[in-house]
């Protein structure tokens, strides 16, 4: 399958630079797979598209204020973006600056020192800090907004979901950004059940596939977890033929990874491990019945995943409709409900 199949043109004016307020006022494109019908709504009306007993699976990961700035001994500036924690002092990072080689030391915030211990592929580095970095992040860190967002974010919390509580992501699970506490309460009172998973989102999630053929792409690995209590909600819903609705591609990936470890009774287990599951057209979905998801970048693995779920031609038509109707795209943009 050619990667170019997943390319499309988007006018820069449709890349959302700031979030809608309140969150639940985002436009909602609804796609009915069985009838091939596209319709429009507002996200705050999500309840009208749900059935009591539906299970919404949400990713409670929390974005680190992972962009930090320091100085080399030569006086040159260095920008460090934390990607993945390797142990209590070492991280995989991206570093901006000249001559950031193995052995280079970077000073942050007075007495916090980082040493480059390894140079990896694709511009990545391993840095070892002199102290645990997390206690310093609230003071020296900035939210790592995607590069296509050029407006300064006045409220750093706006790049977090309202239910975020498990710190570790380099980027937000953006489908969840549309929920407000008011909407969560309304849905709960309506009979919607929420099941929590954690998948810590890496920046590679948003990187375009560069290989000519999709099948040649080596997908990134992300850490995910489902606890006993949360997987029990999902297993019970499956037994009772109630819908499992994934909020975001991260929830899809975690749920479908869980299926790989099902037991002889077709029950999903609790688990905590990395996943490198690559979902693209031709994949057979086993758990997810419906999906809430933002509009994704061209040639991204996320666009490939939603195309696998709804159909490539169908998603192409939905994206064309969204462009013609001036929907807002990407992290702070509008949202789809596919069922």
| Res. 111 pLDDT band, cuts 50 70 90 | confident
Whole-number CA gyration radius for the chain:
20
Last residue of a domain, one of 102, 117, 140: 140
- Of 277, 307, 275, 279, the closest CA to residue 293 belongs to 307
Mean pLDDT, range 205-209, rounded to an integer: 84
Q: Are residues 169 and 129 in the same domain?
A: no
Instruction: Tell me what pLDDT residue 244 has.
Output: 98
pLDDT at 122 over 80: no
Per the structure, the complete domain to which residue 282 belongs is given by: 3-63+154-338
Token couple for 100: 């950031």
- Here the CATH number for the domain that contains residue 73 is 2.40.10.240
Buried b (16+ CB within 10 A) or exposed e, 5-23: ebeeebeeebbbbebbeeb
Last residue of a domain, one of 88, 113, 140: 140
Number of domains composing the chain = 2
> Is 20 inside a domain boundary?
yes
pLDDT at 323 over 90: yes
Q: Are residues 121 and 181 in the same domain?
A: no
Instruction: Tell me what pLDDT residue 203 has.
Output: 81
User: Helix and strand tally (H, E) in the chain?
Assistant: 6, 17
260-316 pLDDT, tens per residue?
A: 999 999 999 999 999 999 999 999 999 999 999 999 999 999 999 999 999 999 999
Q: Are 205 and 248 in contact (CB under 8 A)?
A: no
> Is 145 inside a domain boundary?
no
Q: Are residues 204 and 319 in the same domain?
A: yes
Token couple for 39: 């319709």
């Amino acid at each position: 399958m050619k990667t170019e199949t997943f390319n499309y043109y988007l006018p820069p004016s449709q890349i959302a630079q700031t979030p809608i307020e309140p969150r639940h006022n985002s436009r909602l494109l609804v796609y009915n797979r069985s009838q091939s019908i596209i319709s429009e709504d507002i996200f705050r009306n999500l309840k009208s598209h749900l059935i009591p007993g539906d299970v919404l699976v949400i990713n409670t990961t929390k974005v680190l204020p992972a962009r930090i700035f320091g100085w080399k001994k030569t006086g040159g500036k260095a920008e460090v973006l934390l990607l993945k924690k390797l142990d209590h002092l070492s991280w995989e990072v991206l570093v901006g600056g000249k001559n950031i080689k193995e052995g280079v030391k970077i000073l942050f915030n007075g007495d916090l020192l980082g040493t480059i211990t390894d140079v990896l592929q694709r511009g990545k580095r391993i840095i070892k800090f002199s102290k645990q970095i997390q206690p310093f992040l609230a003071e020296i860190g900035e939210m790592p907004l995607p590069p296509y967002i050029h407006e300064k974010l006045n409220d750093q919390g706006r790049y977090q979901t309202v239910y975020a509580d498990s710190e570790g992501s380099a980027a937000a699970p953006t489908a969840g950004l549309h929920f407000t506490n008011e909407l969560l309460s309304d849905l709960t009172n309506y009979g919607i059940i929420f099941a929590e998973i954690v998948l810590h989102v890496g920046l590679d999630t948003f990187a375009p596939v560069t290989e000519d053929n999709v099948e040649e792409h080596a997908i990134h690995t992300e850490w995910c977890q489902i606890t006993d209590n949360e997987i029990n909600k999902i297993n019970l819903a499956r037994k009772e033929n109630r819908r499992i609705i994934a909020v975001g591609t991260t929830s899809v990936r975690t749920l479908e990874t869980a299926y790989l470890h099902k037991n002889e009774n077709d029950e999903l287990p609790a688990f905590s491990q990395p996943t490198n599951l690559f979902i693209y057209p031709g994949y057979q979905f086993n758990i997810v019945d419906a999906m809430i998801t933002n509009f994704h970048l061209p040639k991204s693995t996320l666009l490939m995943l939603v195309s696998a779920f709804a159909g490539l031609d169908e998603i192409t038509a939905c994206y064309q409709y969204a462009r013609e109707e001036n929907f807002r795209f990407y992290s702070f943009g509008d949202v789809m409900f596919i069922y």
